[in-house]
Homo-oligomer: A and B are copies of this chain.
Amino acid sequence: MPFDISLALDLLGTFFFAVSGCLLAARKGFDIIGSLLLGSLVGLGGGVARDVILDAGVPAAFSQPLYLMPPLLATVLVFFLFQHVERGGNLLRMFDAGGLGLFCITGTLKALGAGLNPVAAVLLGVTTAIGGGVLRDITANEVPQLFNSRDLYAIPCFLGAILTTVLWYSGAMNLVTGIATAVAVFALRMLSHRYSWHAPMAVRGWKHRRAFRN
């Protein structure tokens, strides 16, 4: 997969995550600057963590001003359009799932390109993908969506990162297979929420508790 396509997918994932941050900012009553900052944190936080861990110079979010466009666009879109759509968490979850699907691909690819072994690349891809959302929820003083025990969040992400690694090693990673992987991660995440697919609880035999708002 040539770099510019990877960059395009990375920017699109940044945009999706940034929208989820701006939507949460709207729900928490932040102002438009808070929306821009939370959108930037979510959109860029996972990638900055990835680049810092890879120890490969100044993170792309700081060295390439292009990465500031998605959060700016997300802030403007939420400002003008959000009042015409529902206020609930469905929209936030959908954009978050879109960012999740794209970032577990691009994060894993960047780690593989930096020479990490497959296991480490999957881990760093998952860290990139879940990092922004965790930062969003922690900053807004909520328990991260990641830990909601009534649907799947990390599992689609792990599967996507593993599939990306397999495709990369087999030489079959291209725009079509990359986007197909992202769509599959997105679909699995959303279907798991729709149909309440979930993993076993942390302790065998314990019941679920409803501890989440969205």
Contacts and interface: CB of A to CB of B under 8 A. Distances in A.
A142 B140 CA distance: 8
Given A34-B202, A78-B202, A120 B58 contact: yes
Interface stretch (A1-9, A47-55, A178-186): A47-55
Interface string A47-67: 010001111111100110100
B83 A206 contact: yes
B199 A120 contact: no
A91 interface: no
A178 to B, nearest CB: 23
A209 B29 contact: yes
Contacts of A202: 22, 25-26, 29-32, 34-35, 75, 78-79, 82
A123 B48 CA distance: 13
B79 A155 contact: no
B143 A28 contact: yes
Nearest to A114: B58
A172 interface: no
Most buried by B among A32, A56, A154, A209: A32
Most buried by B among A25, A29, A208: A29
A140 B143 contact: yes
Contact of A52 (B53, B205, B209): B53
Nearest to A153: B33
